[in-house]
Amino acid sequence: MTARRVAARESPRFVHSLAAEVGAQAVDTIKPMRFSVVLFDLDGTLLDSGWMILASMRHATRTVLERDIPEAELLARVGGSGLREQMRAFDAERVEDLVTVYREHNEPLHREVVACEGVLPVLDRLRAEGRRRLGVVTAKRHATVQLAAHALPFLDDLDVIVGWDDTDQHKPHPDPILHALEQLGAAPPDAAYVGDSPFDLTAARAAEVFAVAVTWGRIHSTQLLAAEEPNVIVDTPEELLAVL
C-alpha cells in the first residue's frame, strides 16, 4: 500500500499501526516515491552511539563537576543545539572544561561505533533507486562526523552533509534542515527528515518537511518523540523505507 500522511493530531498508537501496516508490505512494491529528498540525523538514527554519548557525558560530569547526574538528565539534551549548550545546562561556568574532557573521552570511542541495526541495507536500497537525493543533518562537527565514517561507508556518496559548523542556528531551529535543502535546490514539501530526538522533530516541523521519528536510537523515549507530533513514528528501518 501507499503510506498516507499522518496528521499531527493522530494518536501515537495509530501512527505505530500505520508504520507497522506499511512496513509489512514488500518494499519492492512501494510506489510511487513520496519524497525526492531524504535527510537523516546521525547519532541514534544512523549511528548506534547512545552508549558512547552517555559514557562520555558521565565521564565529563564526574571528572569536572564531581557529580553523579542521573542518566535521564545526561541524555535529555542530546541531539539539540550542540555540545556546548548541552554542557551549559550542567554548569555554565565550566562549559569549556566539560567540552574538553567530553571530547577527550568521546573521540577515541568512535573507533567502536557501528551503524544502527538494519540501517545500512535501507540506505543501500534508497541509494540504488538512483532517483532520490540523500543527506545528513547533524549537531556533530564535520571533523567528528568523519570519525564515524568507517561505520557508514556511504557518507562520501551523500548529496549533502550539514554539520554544526555550517549554520549559526542549530536544532531545534529549522536552519540546518533549510540549509541542506538550499544546498540541494529542493523545497520542503519534497523532503523528509528522519531523527530520533525531540529536537530533530521540532526542527523538521518548523522547516515544514515530513517529520519521521525513529525509536531505535534509545536515547529518547517514544513518549517524548510522540509529544513533538511527528508525521509518523517508525520502529524499524524496514518500516522507515515503507513511509518514504
Sheet holding 160-162, edge to edge: 160-162, 133-137, 37-40, 191-195, 210-214, 232-234
The bridge status of strand 232-234 relative to strand 133-137 is unpaired
Q: List Cβ neighbours of 65 (8 Å cut-off, separation of 6 or more).
A: 90, 91, 94, 98
Q: Give the span between the Cα atoms of 12 and 29, in whole angstroms.
A: 26
- Residue 213 gets which letter from DSSP? E
Residue 35: helix, strand or coil by DSSP?
coil
200 included as an active-site residue: no
Q: Residue 50: in which H helix or E strand, if any?
A: helix 50-60
List the one residue out of 236, 204, 232 whose CA is nearest residue 79: 204
Integer Cα distance of 27 and 239 in angstroms = 9
The single residue of 28, 41, 156, 235 carrying the catalytic annotation is 41
Place of cell 528501518: 237
Enzyme catalytic residues: 41
